[in-house]
Structure 1
Amino acid sequence: MHRLALAAGAALMLMGQAAPSDPEMRLWRLDCGTLEVSDFGPFSDTRDYDGQPRDIVDSCYLVKHGADYLLWDTGLPASLIGKPATEWVFTYRMTTTLRDQLRTIGVKPDQIRYVGISHYHDDHTGQARDFPGATLLIGAQDWEAIRTVRPQSERDRFQPWIGGGAKVEPVDKDRDVFGDGSVTILAMPGHTPGHRALLVKLPRMGNVLLSGDQFHAQESYDKGLVPAFNFDRTDTLASHDRFKGIVRSLKATVIIQHEAADVKKLPAFPKSAE
Protein backbone atom coordinates (compact mmCIF):
# COMPACT_ATOMS: atom_id res chain seq x y z
CA MET A 1 0.00 0.00 0.00
CA HIS A 2 2.86 2.33 0.86
CA ARG A 3 4.43 1.79 -2.55
CA LEU A 4 1.07 2.32 -4.25
CA ALA A 5 0.58 5.59 -2.40
CA LEU A 6 4.05 6.79 -3.40
CA ALA A 7 3.42 5.83 -7.02
CA ALA A 8 0.09 7.61 -7.03
CA GLY A 9 1.65 10.69 -5.50
CA ALA A 10 4.45 10.71 -8.05
CA ALA A 11 1.93 10.37 -10.87
CA LEU A 12 -0.08 13.31 -9.56
CA MET A 13 3.08 15.40 -9.30
CA LEU A 14 3.99 14.56 -12.88
CA MET A 15 0.48 15.36 -14.04
CA GLY A 16 0.62 18.68 -12.23
CA GLN A 17 3.94 19.52 -13.83
CA ALA A 18 2.66 18.60 -17.27
CA ALA A 19 -0.63 20.46 -16.99
CA PRO A 20 -0.49 23.64 -19.09
CA SER A 21 -1.15 26.90 -17.27
CA ASP A 22 -3.94 29.18 -18.43
CA PRO A 23 -2.70 31.83 -20.90
CA GLU A 24 -2.41 35.39 -19.65
CA MET A 25 -5.56 37.29 -20.66
CA ARG A 26 -5.73 41.09 -20.84
CA LEU A 27 -7.99 43.58 -22.61
CA TRP A 28 -7.11 47.17 -23.50
CA ARG A 29 -9.48 49.84 -24.76
CA LEU A 30 -7.94 51.97 -27.51
CA ASP A 31 -8.81 55.43 -28.82
CA CYS A 32 -9.83 55.23 -32.46
CA GLY A 33 -11.34 58.71 -32.85
CA THR A 34 -14.61 60.54 -32.25
CA LEU A 35 -17.68 61.26 -34.34
CA GLU A 36 -19.73 64.42 -33.97
CA VAL A 37 -23.18 63.62 -35.34
CA SER A 38 -25.19 66.71 -36.34
CA ASP A 39 -28.44 64.69 -36.53
CA PHE A 40 -28.65 61.31 -34.80
CA GLY A 41 -31.98 60.66 -36.52
CA PRO A 42 -30.69 57.98 -38.93
CA PHE A 43 -29.74 55.83 -35.95
CA SER A 44 -33.40 54.92 -35.37
CA ASP A 45 -35.89 54.00 -38.08
CA THR A 46 -38.71 54.73 -35.62
CA ARG A 47 -37.75 58.43 -35.44
CA ASP A 48 -36.53 58.36 -31.82
CA TYR A 49 -33.57 60.67 -32.47
CA ASP A 50 -34.77 63.01 -35.22
CA GLY A 51 -32.96 66.36 -35.12
CA GLN A 52 -30.87 65.50 -32.07
CA PRO A 53 -27.11 66.10 -32.27
CA ARG A 54 -24.82 63.69 -30.45
CA ASP A 55 -21.12 63.01 -29.98
CA ILE A 56 -20.02 59.40 -29.93
CA VAL A 57 -16.67 57.69 -29.47
CA ASP A 58 -14.94 55.33 -31.87
CA SER A 59 -13.23 52.61 -29.85
CA CYS A 60 -10.99 49.67 -30.70
CA TYR A 61 -9.63 46.91 -28.49
CA LEU A 62 -6.51 44.82 -27.98
CA VAL A 63 -6.76 41.31 -26.52
CA LYS A 64 -3.70 39.52 -25.18
CA HIS A 65 -3.91 35.72 -25.10
CA GLY A 66 -0.61 34.36 -23.87
CA ALA A 67 1.96 35.44 -26.45
CA ASP A 68 -0.70 36.24 -29.06
CA TYR A 69 -2.59 39.48 -29.71
CA LEU A 70 -5.94 40.12 -31.36
CA LEU A 71 -6.75 43.66 -32.48
CA TRP A 72 -10.53 44.18 -32.61
CA ASP A 73 -11.55 46.89 -35.11
CA THR A 74 -9.15 49.52 -36.42
CA GLY A 75 -11.11 52.77 -36.17
CA LEU A 76 -10.89 55.85 -38.34
CA PRO A 77 -7.97 56.42 -40.74
CA ALA A 78 -4.82 58.05 -39.37
CA SER A 79 -5.01 60.69 -42.14
CA LEU A 80 -7.66 62.48 -40.03
CA ILE A 81 -5.18 63.44 -37.30
CA GLY A 82 -5.20 67.24 -37.21
CA LYS A 83 -7.52 67.27 -40.25
CA PRO A 84 -11.17 66.73 -39.22
CA ALA A 85 -13.47 65.73 -42.05
CA THR A 86 -17.23 66.13 -42.46
CA GLU A 87 -19.36 63.69 -44.44
CA TRP A 88 -23.17 63.44 -44.35
CA VAL A 89 -24.12 63.96 -40.65
CA PHE A 90 -20.66 63.04 -39.35
CA THR A 91 -17.59 65.07 -38.45
CA TYR A 92 -14.66 62.73 -37.84
CA ARG A 93 -11.73 63.57 -35.54
CA MET A 94 -8.55 61.72 -34.64
CA THR A 95 -5.75 62.51 -32.18
CA THR A 96 -3.60 59.35 -32.18
CA THR A 97 -2.98 56.15 -34.10
CA LEU A 98 -3.26 52.52 -33.11
CA ARG A 99 0.44 52.01 -33.78
CA ASP A 100 1.36 54.83 -31.40
CA GLN A 101 -0.87 53.42 -28.67
CA LEU A 102 0.55 49.94 -29.11
CA ARG A 103 4.06 51.38 -28.90
CA THR A 104 3.13 52.86 -25.50
CA ILE A 105 2.53 49.35 -24.11
CA GLY A 106 5.47 47.79 -25.92
CA VAL A 107 3.54 45.93 -28.62
CA LYS A 108 4.91 46.00 -32.17
CA PRO A 109 2.65 45.79 -35.24
CA ASP A 110 4.18 42.47 -36.26
CA GLN A 111 3.16 40.98 -32.89
CA ILE A 112 -0.52 41.28 -33.85
CA ARG A 113 -1.54 37.76 -34.84
CA TYR A 114 -5.13 38.61 -35.74
CA VAL A 115 -7.02 41.68 -36.87
CA GLY A 116 -10.70 41.09 -36.17
CA ILE A 117 -13.21 43.35 -37.90
CA SER A 118 -16.77 43.73 -36.60
CA HIS A 119 -17.97 45.02 -39.99
CA TYR A 120 -16.84 46.86 -43.10
CA HIS A 121 -17.84 50.47 -42.28
CA ASP A 122 -15.16 53.16 -42.47
CA ASP A 123 -14.96 53.95 -38.76
CA HIS A 124 -14.07 50.32 -37.97
CA THR A 125 -11.58 49.63 -40.75
CA GLY A 126 -9.55 52.82 -41.18
CA GLN A 127 -6.17 51.53 -39.96
CA ALA A 128 -6.48 47.86 -40.92
CA ARG A 129 -3.77 47.96 -43.57
CA ASP A 130 -1.24 49.13 -40.96
CA PHE A 131 -1.10 45.49 -39.80
CA PRO A 132 -0.35 43.54 -43.00
CA GLY A 133 1.33 40.69 -41.13
CA ALA A 134 -1.84 39.77 -39.26
CA THR A 135 -4.45 37.22 -40.27
CA LEU A 136 -7.71 39.02 -41.01
CA LEU A 137 -10.83 37.65 -39.31
CA ILE A 138 -14.02 39.11 -40.78
CA GLY A 139 -17.59 37.98 -41.37
CA ALA A 140 -17.70 35.93 -44.56
CA GLN A 141 -20.62 37.92 -45.96
CA ASP A 142 -18.84 41.22 -45.31
CA TRP A 143 -15.67 39.91 -46.93
CA GLU A 144 -17.60 38.92 -50.03
CA ALA A 145 -19.17 42.39 -50.15
CA ILE A 146 -15.77 44.08 -49.81
CA ARG A 147 -14.35 42.03 -52.67
CA THR A 148 -17.31 42.54 -55.00
CA VAL A 149 -19.62 45.50 -54.32
CA ARG A 150 -18.22 47.87 -51.71
CA PRO A 151 -16.55 51.18 -52.78
CA GLN A 152 -12.91 51.22 -53.84
CA SER A 153 -12.01 53.30 -50.76
CA GLU A 154 -13.04 50.36 -48.58
CA ARG A 155 -11.23 47.87 -50.77
CA ASP A 156 -8.05 49.92 -50.41
CA ARG A 157 -8.14 49.46 -46.62
CA PHE A 158 -7.99 45.71 -47.13
CA GLN A 159 -5.40 45.69 -49.91
CA PRO A 160 -2.87 43.48 -48.08
CA TRP A 161 -5.50 40.73 -47.93
CA ILE A 162 -7.32 41.37 -51.22
CA GLY A 163 -4.00 41.38 -53.03
CA GLY A 164 -3.09 37.98 -51.61
CA GLY A 165 -0.07 39.18 -49.66
CA ALA A 166 -1.70 38.56 -46.30
CA LYS A 167 -3.87 35.77 -44.89
CA VAL A 168 -7.63 36.18 -44.51
CA GLU A 169 -10.00 33.77 -42.77
CA PRO A 170 -13.64 34.69 -43.50
CA VAL A 171 -15.81 33.77 -40.50
CA ASP A 172 -19.02 32.09 -41.64
CA LYS A 173 -20.64 31.53 -38.23
CA ASP A 174 -19.11 31.88 -34.76
CA ARG A 175 -15.34 31.50 -34.36
CA ASP A 176 -13.43 30.33 -31.27
CA VAL A 177 -10.31 32.34 -32.03
CA PHE A 178 -7.75 30.54 -29.84
CA GLY A 179 -9.55 27.21 -29.47
CA ASP A 180 -10.07 27.42 -25.71
CA GLY A 181 -13.29 29.45 -25.47
CA SER A 182 -11.55 32.57 -24.16
CA VAL A 183 -12.20 34.76 -27.23
CA THR A 184 -15.17 34.14 -29.51
CA ILE A 185 -16.29 36.06 -32.58
CA LEU A 186 -20.09 35.94 -32.63
CA ALA A 187 -22.33 36.12 -35.69
CA MET A 188 -24.63 39.14 -35.31
CA PRO A 189 -25.83 39.95 -38.86
CA GLY A 190 -28.12 42.85 -39.65
CA HIS A 191 -26.12 46.05 -39.36
CA THR A 192 -24.14 44.64 -42.27
CA PRO A 193 -24.61 41.17 -43.79
CA GLY A 194 -21.60 39.75 -41.93
CA HIS A 195 -21.60 41.87 -38.78
CA ARG A 196 -19.86 40.32 -35.74
CA ALA A 197 -19.49 40.97 -32.00
CA LEU A 198 -16.66 39.76 -29.74
CA LEU A 199 -16.89 37.85 -26.45
CA VAL A 200 -13.80 37.95 -24.22
CA LYS A 201 -13.53 35.89 -21.02
CA LEU A 202 -11.19 37.54 -18.52
CA PRO A 203 -10.00 35.82 -15.32
CA ARG A 204 -11.01 38.66 -12.99
CA MET A 205 -13.55 40.81 -14.82
CA GLY A 206 -15.34 37.82 -16.30
CA ASN A 207 -17.20 37.88 -19.60
CA VAL A 208 -16.98 41.08 -21.65
CA LEU A 209 -19.12 41.49 -24.78
CA LEU A 210 -17.93 44.04 -27.34
CA SER A 211 -20.86 45.16 -29.48
CA GLY A 212 -19.38 46.17 -32.80
CA ASP A 213 -22.29 48.25 -34.11
CA GLN A 214 -25.03 45.97 -32.85
CA PHE A 215 -26.00 49.00 -30.75
CA HIS A 216 -24.76 52.60 -30.94
CA ALA A 217 -26.07 54.05 -27.66
CA GLN A 218 -27.58 52.92 -24.37
CA GLU A 219 -31.08 53.91 -25.56
CA SER A 220 -30.56 51.78 -28.64
CA TYR A 221 -29.86 48.81 -26.38
CA ASP A 222 -32.71 49.51 -23.97
CA LYS A 223 -35.34 50.05 -26.67
CA GLY A 224 -34.02 47.68 -29.34
CA LEU A 225 -33.70 50.46 -31.92
CA VAL A 226 -32.64 49.77 -35.50
CA PRO A 227 -30.71 52.34 -37.57
CA ALA A 228 -32.37 53.29 -40.84
CA PHE A 229 -29.15 52.46 -42.71
CA ASN A 230 -28.84 48.88 -41.43
CA PHE A 231 -28.59 46.17 -44.07
CA ASP A 232 -31.47 44.01 -42.79
CA ARG A 233 -34.01 44.94 -40.10
CA THR A 234 -35.20 41.40 -39.38
CA ASP A 235 -31.65 40.09 -38.95
CA THR A 236 -30.82 43.07 -36.73
CA LEU A 237 -33.69 42.32 -34.35
CA ALA A 238 -32.78 38.63 -34.23
CA SER A 239 -29.20 39.60 -33.38
CA HIS A 240 -30.51 41.99 -30.69
CA ASP A 241 -32.23 39.00 -29.08
CA ARG A 242 -29.15 36.80 -29.32
CA PHE A 243 -26.86 39.50 -27.94
CA LYS A 244 -29.09 40.15 -24.93
CA GLY A 245 -29.57 36.43 -24.36
CA ILE A 246 -25.80 35.93 -24.14
CA VAL A 247 -25.56 38.86 -21.72
CA ARG A 248 -28.18 37.26 -19.46
CA SER A 249 -26.74 33.76 -19.63
CA LEU A 250 -23.12 34.75 -19.02
CA LYS A 251 -23.76 37.86 -16.88
CA ALA A 252 -21.50 39.62 -19.34
CA THR A 253 -20.34 43.22 -19.12
CA VAL A 254 -21.64 44.99 -22.22
CA ILE A 255 -19.36 47.44 -24.02
CA ILE A 256 -21.29 49.44 -26.64
CA GLN A 257 -18.33 50.52 -28.71
CA HIS A 258 -19.71 53.97 -29.58
CA GLU A 259 -21.04 54.72 -26.08
CA ALA A 260 -18.50 56.66 -23.97
CA ALA A 261 -20.03 55.53 -20.66
CA ASP A 262 -19.69 51.89 -21.70
CA VAL A 263 -16.12 52.24 -22.91
CA LYS A 264 -15.29 53.69 -19.48
CA LYS A 265 -16.27 50.39 -17.87
CA LEU A 266 -12.76 49.34 -18.89
CA PRO A 267 -9.61 50.89 -17.35
CA ALA A 268 -8.25 54.01 -19.04
CA PHE A 269 -5.38 53.27 -21.42
CA PRO A 270 -2.60 52.24 -20.91
CA LYS A 271 -4.06 50.13 -18.09
CA SER A 272 -5.81 46.91 -19.04
CA ALA A 273 -8.70 44.83 -17.76
CA GLU A 274 -7.80 41.34 -16.54
Structure 2
Amino acid sequence: MFKNHRALAAVIALLSIPAAAQNAKQAEPPKSLRLYVLDCGKITGVNGDSMGFKPGELKTADMITPCFLIVHPRGTMIWDTGEIPDSAFQSGVTPQKQGAFTVDRPLLPQLAAIGYTPADITYLALSHYHGDHVANASLFASSTWIVQKGDRDAIFAQRPTNEKKLGGVGDPAYFAALKNSKTLLLNGEDHDVFGDGTVVIKFTPGHTPGHQSLYLKLAKTGPVLLSGDLYHYPEEITYKRIPSFDFDKDQTAKSRAMIEDFVKKNNAQLWIQHDYTAGSKRKIAPEYYD
Protein backbone atom coordinates (compact mmCIF):
# COMPACT_ATOMS: atom_id res chain seq x y z
CA MET A 1 0.00 0.00 0.00
CA PHE A 2 2.75 2.43 0.95
CA LYS A 3 4.63 1.80 -2.28
CA ASN A 4 1.53 2.81 -4.23
CA HIS A 5 1.13 5.98 -2.18
CA ARG A 6 4.78 6.82 -2.62
CA ALA A 7 4.59 6.29 -6.36
CA LEU A 8 1.52 8.52 -6.55
CA ALA A 9 3.30 11.21 -4.54
CA ALA A 10 6.28 11.01 -6.87
CA VAL A 11 4.07 11.43 -9.93
CA ILE A 12 2.28 14.41 -8.40
CA ALA A 13 5.62 15.98 -7.48
CA LEU A 14 6.96 15.43 -10.99
CA LEU A 15 3.91 17.01 -12.58
CA SER A 16 4.37 20.07 -10.38
CA ILE A 17 7.93 20.60 -11.62
CA PRO A 18 8.27 23.09 -14.48
CA ALA A 19 9.76 21.69 -17.69
CA ALA A 20 12.91 23.75 -17.22
CA ALA A 21 13.49 22.04 -13.88
CA GLN A 22 12.97 18.56 -15.33
CA ASN A 23 15.34 19.17 -18.24
CA ALA A 24 18.23 20.71 -16.32
CA LYS A 25 21.64 20.30 -17.90
CA GLN A 26 23.58 18.26 -15.37
CA ALA A 27 26.39 20.13 -13.66
CA GLU A 28 29.95 18.83 -13.59
CA PRO A 29 31.28 17.83 -10.15
CA PRO A 30 33.44 20.66 -8.75
CA LYS A 31 37.05 20.22 -7.72
CA SER A 32 36.36 21.70 -4.29
CA LEU A 33 33.39 22.32 -2.00
CA ARG A 34 30.73 24.80 -3.14
CA LEU A 35 27.84 26.40 -1.29
CA TYR A 36 24.83 27.74 -3.18
CA VAL A 37 22.29 29.94 -1.38
CA LEU A 38 18.75 29.49 -2.73
CA ASP A 39 15.92 31.98 -2.23
CA CYS A 40 13.19 30.13 -0.34
CA GLY A 41 11.18 33.09 0.91
CA LYS A 42 10.69 35.43 3.81
CA ILE A 43 8.59 35.75 6.95
CA THR A 44 6.92 38.99 8.00
CA GLY A 45 4.77 40.04 10.92
CA VAL A 46 6.79 38.11 13.50
CA ASN A 47 5.89 38.85 17.13
CA GLY A 48 9.12 39.82 18.89
CA ASP A 49 7.58 38.94 22.26
CA SER A 50 7.31 35.27 21.28
CA MET A 51 10.99 35.34 20.43
CA GLY A 52 11.80 36.61 23.92
CA PHE A 53 12.54 40.23 23.00
CA LYS A 54 11.54 43.48 24.65
CA PRO A 55 10.30 46.41 22.52
CA GLY A 56 13.16 48.14 20.70
CA GLU A 57 15.68 45.31 21.00
CA LEU A 58 15.23 43.99 17.44
CA LYS A 59 16.45 45.94 14.43
CA THR A 60 13.83 44.08 12.38
CA ALA A 61 11.58 41.15 13.22
CA ASP A 62 11.32 40.08 9.56
CA MET A 63 13.18 36.95 8.52
CA ILE A 64 14.47 35.33 5.36
CA THR A 65 14.27 31.57 4.85
CA PRO A 66 17.07 30.39 2.56
CA CYS A 67 17.72 26.86 1.40
CA PHE A 68 21.23 25.67 0.65
CA LEU A 69 22.80 23.32 -1.87
CA ILE A 70 26.15 21.91 -0.84
CA VAL A 71 28.16 20.45 -3.73
CA HIS A 72 31.14 18.26 -2.83
CA PRO A 73 33.38 16.40 -5.29
CA ARG A 74 31.84 13.16 -3.96
CA GLY A 75 28.19 14.16 -3.80
CA THR A 76 25.56 16.77 -3.04
CA MET A 77 23.34 17.73 -0.12
CA ILE A 78 20.30 19.97 0.17
CA TRP A 79 20.02 21.73 3.54
CA ASP A 80 16.45 22.88 4.34
CA THR A 81 13.74 23.01 1.68
CA GLY A 82 11.68 26.15 2.17
CA GLU A 83 8.39 27.36 3.61
CA ILE A 84 5.89 26.94 0.74
CA PRO A 85 5.90 23.81 -1.46
CA ASP A 86 6.66 24.12 -5.15
CA SER A 87 3.28 22.52 -5.89
CA ALA A 88 1.60 25.77 -4.75
CA PHE A 89 3.02 27.49 -7.83
CA GLN A 90 0.85 25.39 -10.16
CA SER A 91 -1.76 28.14 -9.87
CA GLY A 92 0.56 30.45 -11.80
CA VAL A 93 0.33 33.08 -9.06
CA THR A 94 3.65 34.64 -8.03
CA PRO A 95 4.59 35.38 -5.34
CA GLN A 96 2.89 32.71 -3.26
CA LYS A 97 1.66 33.73 0.19
CA GLN A 98 0.62 31.53 3.10
CA GLY A 99 0.01 33.51 6.26
CA ALA A 100 3.28 35.18 7.26
CA PHE A 101 5.19 33.32 4.52
CA THR A 102 5.98 34.81 1.10
CA VAL A 103 7.91 32.98 -1.62
CA ASP A 104 8.77 34.66 -4.93
CA ARG A 105 9.99 31.60 -6.81
CA PRO A 106 9.87 27.83 -6.39
CA LEU A 107 12.89 25.79 -5.37
CA LEU A 108 13.34 23.29 -8.21
CA PRO A 109 13.78 25.82 -11.05
CA GLN A 110 16.53 27.42 -8.98
CA LEU A 111 18.27 24.05 -8.75
CA ALA A 112 17.72 23.45 -12.47
CA ALA A 113 19.38 26.76 -13.31
CA ILE A 114 22.63 25.45 -11.80
CA GLY A 115 22.29 21.98 -13.29
CA TYR A 116 20.57 19.87 -10.63
CA THR A 117 17.32 17.94 -10.21
CA PRO A 118 16.16 16.05 -7.09
CA ALA A 119 17.60 12.87 -8.63
CA ASP A 120 21.07 14.48 -8.46
CA ILE A 121 20.91 15.14 -4.73
CA THR A 122 22.81 12.56 -2.67
CA TYR A 123 21.66 13.68 0.77
CA LEU A 124 18.75 15.57 2.28
CA ALA A 125 19.31 17.19 5.68
CA LEU A 126 16.87 19.45 7.49
CA SER A 127 17.99 21.65 10.35
CA HIS A 128 14.73 20.71 12.10
CA TYR A 129 11.08 19.89 11.54
CA HIS A 130 9.41 23.33 11.62
CA GLY A 131 7.25 24.17 8.63
CA ASP A 132 9.36 27.04 7.29
CA HIS A 133 12.28 24.66 6.69
CA VAL A 134 10.64 21.54 5.27
CA ALA A 135 7.97 22.38 2.68
CA ASN A 136 9.71 20.61 -0.22
CA ALA A 137 11.28 17.77 1.75
CA SER A 138 9.29 15.03 0.01
CA LEU A 139 10.67 16.07 -3.37
CA PHE A 140 13.97 14.57 -2.21
CA ALA A 141 12.65 11.14 -1.21
CA SER A 142 15.20 9.46 -3.49
CA SER A 143 18.06 11.04 -1.50
CA THR A 144 19.46 9.61 1.72
CA TRP A 145 17.81 11.51 4.56
CA ILE A 146 20.20 12.47 7.38
CA VAL A 147 18.09 13.12 10.48
CA GLN A 148 18.40 13.05 14.25
CA LYS A 149 16.23 10.44 15.98
CA GLY A 150 14.59 13.06 18.19
CA ASP A 151 13.20 14.98 15.23
CA ARG A 152 12.25 11.93 13.18
CA ASP A 153 10.32 10.46 16.12
CA ALA A 154 8.44 13.74 16.49
CA ILE A 155 7.67 13.99 12.77
CA PHE A 156 6.03 10.57 12.64
CA ALA A 157 4.50 10.59 16.13
CA GLN A 158 0.76 10.17 16.57
CA ARG A 159 -1.00 13.52 16.61
CA PRO A 160 -2.75 15.57 17.93
CA THR A 161 -2.02 13.85 21.28
CA ASN A 162 1.44 15.40 21.60
CA GLU A 163 0.91 18.33 19.20
CA LYS A 164 1.27 20.90 21.97
CA LYS A 165 4.45 19.36 23.35
CA LEU A 166 5.96 18.98 19.89
CA GLY A 167 4.38 22.11 18.47
CA GLY A 168 5.51 23.39 15.12
CA VAL A 169 6.03 20.08 13.33
CA GLY A 170 5.51 20.81 9.64
CA ASP A 171 2.52 19.57 7.65
CA PRO A 172 2.64 15.74 7.60
CA ALA A 173 2.32 15.89 3.80
CA TYR A 174 5.76 17.51 3.67
CA PHE A 175 7.31 14.33 5.12
CA ALA A 176 5.02 11.62 3.71
CA ALA A 177 7.43 10.41 1.01
CA LEU A 178 10.33 10.29 3.49
CA LYS A 179 8.90 7.71 5.88
CA ASN A 180 10.42 4.77 4.01
CA SER A 181 13.27 6.68 2.36
CA LYS A 182 16.82 5.51 2.80
CA THR A 183 17.68 7.14 6.11
CA LEU A 184 20.85 7.78 8.07
CA LEU A 185 19.50 8.04 11.61
CA LEU A 186 21.68 9.98 14.04
CA ASN A 187 21.18 9.59 17.77
CA GLY A 188 22.36 12.81 19.36
CA GLU A 189 25.65 12.91 17.48
CA ASP A 190 27.61 14.89 14.92
CA HIS A 191 28.16 13.46 11.44
CA ASP A 192 30.96 14.02 8.92
CA VAL A 193 28.93 13.74 5.71
CA PHE A 194 31.71 13.08 3.19
CA GLY A 195 34.34 11.83 5.61
CA ASP A 196 36.88 14.61 5.06
CA GLY A 197 35.79 17.21 7.62
CA THR A 198 34.47 19.71 5.08
CA VAL A 199 30.73 19.10 5.65
CA VAL A 200 29.85 18.27 9.25
CA ILE A 201 26.38 18.13 10.79
CA LYS A 202 26.49 19.40 14.38
CA PHE A 203 23.89 18.17 16.90
CA THR A 204 22.42 21.32 18.49
CA PRO A 205 19.24 20.30 20.36
CA GLY A 206 16.91 22.67 22.15
CA HIS A 207 14.86 24.45 19.52
CA THR A 208 13.58 20.97 18.65
CA PRO A 209 14.65 17.60 20.12
CA GLY A 210 16.85 16.78 17.13
CA HIS A 211 17.85 20.21 15.89
CA GLN A 212 21.09 20.31 13.93
CA SER A 213 23.41 22.94 12.47
CA LEU A 214 25.90 22.61 9.61
CA TYR A 215 29.63 23.30 9.51
CA LEU A 216 31.25 23.87 6.11
CA LYS A 217 34.97 24.22 5.47
CA LEU A 218 35.17 26.27 2.26
CA ALA A 219 38.60 26.75 0.67
CA LYS A 220 38.28 30.44 -0.28
CA THR A 221 35.43 31.71 1.88
CA GLY A 222 36.72 29.95 4.97
CA PRO A 223 34.76 28.00 7.58
CA VAL A 224 31.02 28.74 7.81
CA LEU A 225 28.49 27.54 10.38
CA LEU A 226 24.86 27.49 9.19
CA SER A 227 22.79 27.97 12.32
CA GLY A 228 19.47 26.40 11.46
CA ASP A 229 17.18 27.92 14.09
CA LEU A 230 19.69 27.76 16.91
CA TYR A 231 19.46 31.53 16.39
CA HIS A 232 16.95 33.60 14.44
CA TYR A 233 18.46 37.05 15.00
CA PRO A 234 21.95 38.34 15.91
CA GLU A 235 20.31 40.11 18.85
CA GLU A 236 19.74 36.71 20.45
CA ILE A 237 23.48 36.62 21.02
CA THR A 238 23.61 40.22 22.27
CA TYR A 239 20.67 39.94 24.67
CA LYS A 240 20.79 36.18 25.38
CA ARG A 241 17.19 35.75 24.27
CA ILE A 242 15.62 32.34 23.61
CA PRO A 243 12.20 31.88 21.96
CA SER A 244 9.40 30.94 24.33
CA PHE A 245 8.38 28.06 22.05
CA ASP A 246 11.71 26.22 22.02
CA PHE A 247 11.34 22.55 22.94
CA ASP A 248 13.94 22.83 25.72
CA LYS A 249 15.32 26.29 26.46
CA ASP A 250 18.07 24.95 28.73
CA GLN A 251 19.27 22.70 25.92
CA THR A 252 19.18 25.65 23.53
CA ALA A 253 21.43 27.64 25.87
CA LYS A 254 23.89 24.74 26.12
CA SER A 255 23.90 24.22 22.35
CA ARG A 256 24.54 27.92 21.78
CA ALA A 257 27.45 27.93 24.22
CA MET A 258 28.95 24.90 22.47
CA ILE A 259 28.53 26.41 18.99
CA GLU A 260 29.90 29.81 19.99
CA ASP A 261 32.99 28.07 21.38
CA PHE A 262 33.24 25.91 18.24
CA VAL A 263 32.94 28.94 15.94
CA LYS A 264 35.63 30.77 17.88
CA LYS A 265 38.05 27.82 17.89
CA ASN A 266 37.59 27.23 14.16
CA ASN A 267 37.62 30.92 13.22
CA ALA A 268 34.30 30.33 11.45
CA GLN A 269 31.63 32.73 10.25
CA LEU A 270 28.28 32.21 11.96
CA TRP A 271 25.52 32.51 9.38
CA ILE A 272 22.20 32.99 11.13
CA GLN A 273 19.91 31.59 8.48
CA HIS A 274 16.92 33.81 9.28
CA ASP A 275 18.99 37.01 9.62
CA TYR A 276 17.24 39.39 7.21
CA THR A 277 19.93 42.07 7.15
CA ALA A 278 23.00 39.86 6.67
CA GLY A 279 21.23 37.27 4.54
CA SER A 280 19.91 39.84 2.08
CA LYS A 281 23.51 40.76 1.23
CA ARG A 282 24.65 37.23 0.41
CA LYS A 283 25.19 35.88 -3.08
CA ILE A 284 22.25 33.92 -4.48
CA ALA A 285 22.51 31.01 -6.92
CA PRO A 286 23.74 30.69 -9.61
CA GLU A 287 26.57 32.50 -7.82
CA TYR A 288 28.22 30.42 -5.12
CA TYR A 289 30.71 30.38 -2.27
CA ASP A 290 33.74 28.12 -2.50
Give CA-to-partner distance per residue, 1:150-197, whole Å, 9 cap, x none.
6696322111221x2x21222221011111111000010000011000
Query: Are 1:157 and 2:174 matched, yes or no?
Result: yes
What residue in structure 1 maps to residue 272 of structure 2?
A: 256
What residue in structure 2 maps to residue 222 of structure 1?
A: 238
What residue in structure 2 maps to residue 48 of structure 1?
A: 54
Query: Are 1:65 and 2:81 matched, yes or no?
Result: no
1:213 positional shift: 0.2
Structure-to-structure mapping, 1:6-155, within 5 angstroms: 23-44=31-52, 47-49=53-55, 54-78=61-85, 79=88, 81-86=94-99, 91-149=100-158, 154-155=171-172
Note if contact 2:63-2:274 (Cα within 8 Å) is conserved in structure 1.
yes
Secondary structure of 1:32's partner?
coil
Secondary structure of 2:287's partner?
coil
Give CA-to-partner distance per residue, 1:18-66, whole Å, 9 cap, x none.
xxxx95210011111110024221011xx42589772210111110001
Q: Structure 1 residues 260, 50: closer, same or farther in 2, change over 3 A? A: closer
1:217 positional shift: 0.7
Note if contact 2:124-2:144 (Cα within 8 Å) is conserved in structure 1.
yes
1:199 positional shift: 0.2
State the identity %.
Answer: 32
Alignment coverage as a number of residue pairs: 245
1:210 positional shift: 0.1
Note if contact 1:57-1:260 (Cα within 8 Å) is conserved in structure 2.
yes
Which has the higher mean CA deviation after the structures are superposed, 238-247 or 253-262?
253-262
What residue in structure 2 maps to residue 240 of structure 1?
A: 256
Q: Structure 1 residues 192, 49: closer, same or farther in 2, change over 3 A? A: farther
**Separation of aligned partners in 2, 1:189 and 1:197:** 9
Q: Structure 1 residues 51, 256: closer, same or farther in 2, change over 3 A? A: closer
Give CA-to-partner distance per residue, 1:222-247, whole Å, 9 cap, x none.
22210000000110000110110011
What are structure 2's unaligned runs of at least 5 residues?
Answer: 1-29, 161-168
TM (normalized to structure 2)? 0.79
**Separation of aligned partners in 2, 1:203 and 1:71:** 20
**Separation of aligned partners in 1, 2:244 and 2:131:** 17
Q: Which has the higher strand share?
A: 1
Q: Which amino acid is the alignment partner of residue 250 of structure 1?
A: N
Note if contact 1:37-1:56 (Cα within 8 Å) is conserved in structure 2.
no
1:71 positional shift: 0.4
Give CA-to-partner distance per residue, 1:59-111, whole Å, 9 cap, x none.
1111000141100000112327534122xxxx111111221100111112100
**Separation of aligned partners in 2, 1:50 and 1:206:** 34
Note if contact 2:199-2:215 (Cα within 8 Å) is conserved in structure 1.
yes
Give CA-to-partner distance per residue, 1:134-157, whole Å, 9 cap, x none.
111122100011111466963221
**Separation of aligned partners in 1, 2:283 and 2:170:** 34
